[in-house]
Amino acid sequence: MALELDHGHAVVLIRQSAFERSGIARGAIDERYNLTADEFRVGEGLVVLGPLPSGDILPQLIGDLEESGLVYFDDFFDLTGNWPEWLMVYVRSPKTG
């Protein structure tokens, strides 16, 4: 089942395999960005960070992910949540062999 994304709030989507390879500790992300269990979801081949408390933290989060060896667009991507309330957005990673 695809993961639902909330409108009006930024999220960062990370390929689960890339996240696991990077060695980033979930606790470090939770602590640095004050994320709750609902704001750090894993499923459908993805790690979803968000809805983020503020879009203002996106540049720092992106920088931290890149410093950890992840590549923007190839390994992770951000969505600003800038879509209308009447539109539901669901995400999942394609199944690979």
List, run by run, the mean pLDDT of 10-residue segments along the chain (97 residues).
87 95 90 87 92 88 95 95 92 76
State the distance between the two ends of the chain, measured CA to CA, in whole angstroms. Answer: 18
Q: State the pLDDT at residue 62.
A: 95
> Dihedral through CA 78, CA 41, CA 23, CA 52, nearest 10?
40
Closest to 76 measured CA to CA, from 56, 94, 61 = 61
Structure confidence at residue 64 (pLDDT): 93
Query: Which pLDDT belongs to residue 95?
Result: 72
* pLDDT of amino acid 96: 62
Dihedral (CA of 23, 63, 33, 8) sign = negative
Helix (H) or strand (E) holding 16: helix 16-22
Q: What local confidence, expressed as pLDDT, does residue 81 receive?
A: 86
pTM of the entire predicted model: 0.90
Residue 60 in 3-state DSSP?
Answer: helix
Give the pLDDT confidence score for residue 71 in this predicted structure: 97
C-alpha separations of 62 from 2, 85, 94, 95, 97 in Å = 23, 26, 23, 25, 29
